[in-house]
């Protein structure tokens, strides 16, 4: 009798810890529309040459990164990605997402999750399965520093569907004392139809365009053209 009671107690404790853990993870992100400072970009149609160069069944239609660096508030980084599944491999790839963040100094807001099918938008925020897990990089390297991932599994994805999703990460690593830096790749190994980078900051911003092949900095004119 005593042994059964102890077993029951241990099961109740384990169940309580599991529920508490799930509750804590669930509080690590929220769903809300983008902030007012975010610009929305129209999705451009791909060229035939872009489609013929697709690898692994995924065509990247838009990569959009926007950063807001206020003087007395937390930094915000908005990301929007639009991808089209060209075949089943593309469906398998884009139907599962992982959004990384560190809850010790960052918060995650999922802004949108939409499928475009036959020019019609299908909101997937309600039906997609979302789970907060340890980040994949931590699991792979067996280095645990507290980083988490919002794992999203999207239901009813089909070949030809376009996935349009966006999210905002608020906060920055206190080690950098509110300093800001960002890097953006321009030359991708796969076709990217449209990409955008925008930084809102009241202070002077130093910019440099670097060619990692020739190891040389490029012209200031090219930088202004890209960041305009």
pLDDT mean over 138-163: 82
Distance CA 217, CA 215 (A): 7
| 179 Cβ contact list (under 8 Å, min separation 6) | none
CB-based contact 51:143 (threshold 8 Å): no
169-208 pLDDT tens trace? 999 888 877 677 777 777 777 888 999 988 887 665 566 6
Distance CA 221, CA 159 (A): 41
Residue 128: closest CA among 153, 151, 95: 153
| Residue 130 reports pLDDT greater than 60 | yes
Q: Give the mean pLDDT of the chain.
A: 79
| Residue 15 reports pLDDT greater than 80 | no
Distance CA 192, CA 76 (A): 24
């Amino acid at each position: 009798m005593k042994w059964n009671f102890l077993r029951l107690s241990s099961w109740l404790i384990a169940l309580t810890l599991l529920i508490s853990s799930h509750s804590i993870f669930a509080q690590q992100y929220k769903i809300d529309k983008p902030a007012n400072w975010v610009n929305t970009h129209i999705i451009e149609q791909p060229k035939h040459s872009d489609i013929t160069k697709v690898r692994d069944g995924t065509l990247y239609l838009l990569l959009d990164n926007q950063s807001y660096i206020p003087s007395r508030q937390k930094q915000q980084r908005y990301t929007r990605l639009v991808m089209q599944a060209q075949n089943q491999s593309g469906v398998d790839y884009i139907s599962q997402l992982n959004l990384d963040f560190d809850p010790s100094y960052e918060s995650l807001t999922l802004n949108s999750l939409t499928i475009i099918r036959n020019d019609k938008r299908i909101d997937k925020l309600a039906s997609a399965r979302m789970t907060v897990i340890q980040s994949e990089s931590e699991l792979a390297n067996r280095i645990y520093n507290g980083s988490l991932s919002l794992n999203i599994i999207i239901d009813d994805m089909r070949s030809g569907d376009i996935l349009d999703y966006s999210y905002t990460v608020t906060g920055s690593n206190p080690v950098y004392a509110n300093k800001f830096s960002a890097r953006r790749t321009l030359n991708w190994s796969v076709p990217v139809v449209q990409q955008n980078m925008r930084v809102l900051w009241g202070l002077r911003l130093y910019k440099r365009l670097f060619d990692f092949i020739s190891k040389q900095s490029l012209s200031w004119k090219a930088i202004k053209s890209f960041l305009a």
